[in-house]
Amino acid sequence: MRILVHLISDNNITIRQSYNNILQGLIYQYLDRMDAVWLHEHGFEFGSRKFKLFVFSEIREKGTVDRNTQTFTFFNKISFYLSSPVDWIMTQFAGNIIRARDLDFGNNKVSVESISVMKDRVIDGSSITVSAITPIEVHSTLIKPDGRKLTHYYSSFEDEFGRLINNNMIKKWGALYNREAPGSILIRPLYSGNRNERVRYFVSNGRKTVIKGWLGRYRLSGDRDILRFALDAGLGSRNSQGFGMVEIDR
């Protein structure tokens, strides 16, 4: 399920450039309290892995950048997508936030103008072409000889990129449904070169993490159920931090 959330303010909306955690915080804030705590602290488990099973987009409107203050300024209306294969996440968030009056959004006072439920796209066959709305990222954590950790982000042209996306998707499926996934998912980039490589930052507890991912168009192949699941849950890692949201090409 996917919704489009429209927010409105009496003034222009100014927010720091690395704002993903503000959107993430808004989502947790408008889930029921006990469920929000459980999802944030535990989530859906598969072995040692834990998944939140939601993904969101960046702000869809184009803002102006102030490089001195490292902020975006938008006009008084902004919007973003939220998607999840978990019905209660979507119904709680939409139901709670639509009843809220004034929302705190990165030192801005906003309110909900509307929420639109997006119509599911029909998947007729065993493959679809998608565009990444937010960068898709997969990584491995390596240990250097001195004991320090090093995060390696994979290029979309490396074999590990597709293998890790498939493994991640199978684990997400198992975490939600507690059964074996209906086959594998294959991903192939439909571009060349590095023009779709993106670097983003995620701020948590005052600490900024550098994250590298890939936009662009991709061909996804697999069972229709797992393709639909991929659209709802997101591709790759850090989906609940705003990475890996894709949509079917029109």
> Whole-angstrom Cα distance, residue 112 to residue 101?
8
Q: Is the pLDDT of residue 192 over 80?
A: yes
* Residue in 98, 22, 85, 88 with CA at minimum distance from that of residue 54: 85
221 or 201, which is more confident: 221
Do residue 27 and residue 136 come from a single domain? no
Do residue 172 and residue 210 come from a single domain? yes
Name residue 192's amino acid. S
Do residue 142 and residue 96 come from a single domain? no
User: What six digits make up the tokens of 92?
Assistant: 């709680």
As a residue count, the chain comes to 250
What is the predicted pLDDT for the residue at 216? 97
Do residue 131 and residue 23 come from a single domain? no
Residue 51 forms part of a structural domain: yes
Q: What is the pLDDT of residues 78-110, one digit of tens each?
A: 999 999 999 999 999 999 999 998 899 999 999
* Stretch 19-31: mean pLDDT: 96
- Name the pLDDT band for 178 (thresholds 50, 70, 90): very high
Mean pLDDT, the chain, as a whole number? 94
34 or 151, which is more confident: 34
Do residue 112 and residue 6 come from a single domain? yes
Residue 191 forms part of a structural domain: yes
Do residue 105 and residue 134 come from a single domain? no
What is the predicted pLDDT for the residue at 159? 95
Contacts of 186 (CB under 8 A, 6+ apart): 162, 166, 220, 221, 222
Is residue 28 within 8 Å of 52, Cβ to Cβ? no
For the CA atoms of the chain, what is the radius of gyration? 18
Phi, psi (degrees; rounded to nearest 5) at 36: -65, -45
Q: Is the pLDDT of residue 9 over 90?
A: yes
Q: Is the pLDDT of residue 203 over 90?
A: no
Q: Is the pLDDT of residue 35 over 80?
A: yes
Q: What is the total count of domains within the chain?
A: 2
Domain edge (last residue) among 117, 149, 164: 117
> Whole-angstrom Cα distance, residue 84 to residue 127?
21
Do residue 174 and residue 223 come from a single domain? yes
Do residue 77 and residue 152 come from a single domain? no
Cross-strand bridge partners of residue 186: 221
First-to-last C-alpha distance (Å) of the chain: 18
Is residue 184 within 8 Å of 99, Cβ to Cβ? no
Do residue 215 and residue 159 come from a single domain? yes
| Domain containing residue 21 | 2-117
Residue 106 forms part of a structural domain: yes
> Whole-angstrom Cα distance, residue 218 to residue 128?
8
Residue 102 forms part of a structural domain: yes
The DSSP code for 11 is S
Residue 61 forms part of a structural domain: yes
> Whole-angstrom Cα distance, residue 73 to residue 57?
17
* Stretch 69-76: mean pLDDT: 94
- CATH number for 179: 3.30.70.1900
What is the predicted pLDDT for the residue at 141? 86
Q: Is the pLDDT of residue 49 over 80?
A: yes
Residue 122 forms part of a structural domain: no
The DSSP code for 51 is E
150 or 159, which is more confident: 159
Give the count of beta carbons closer than 10 Å to the beta carbon of residue 76: 14
Q: Is the pLDDT of residue 206 over 80?
A: no
> Whole-angstrom Cα distance, residue 246 to residue 135?
9
> Whole-angstrom Cα distance, residue 175 to residue 170?
9
Of the chain, the percentage scoring pLDDT greater than 70 comes to: 100
Q: C-alpha distances in angstroms, 156 versus 139, 166, 189, 198, 218?
A: 11, 13, 7, 12, 10
Do residue 101 and residue 135 come from a single domain? no
Give the count of beta carbons closer than 10 Å to the beta carbon of residue 165: 25
- Name the pLDDT band for 36 (thresholds 50, 70, 90): very high
- CATH number for 106: 3.30.70.1890
* Stretch 180-203: mean pLDDT: 94
Please state the pTM of the whole predicted model. 0.94
Residue 148 forms part of a structural domain: yes
Do residue 107 and residue 143 come from a single domain? no
Q: What is the pLDDT of residues 226-242, one digit of tens each?
A: 999 999 999 999 999 99
Q: What is the pLDDT of residues 107-150, one digit of tens each?
A: 999 999 999 999 988 898 899 999 999 999 999 988 877 778 88
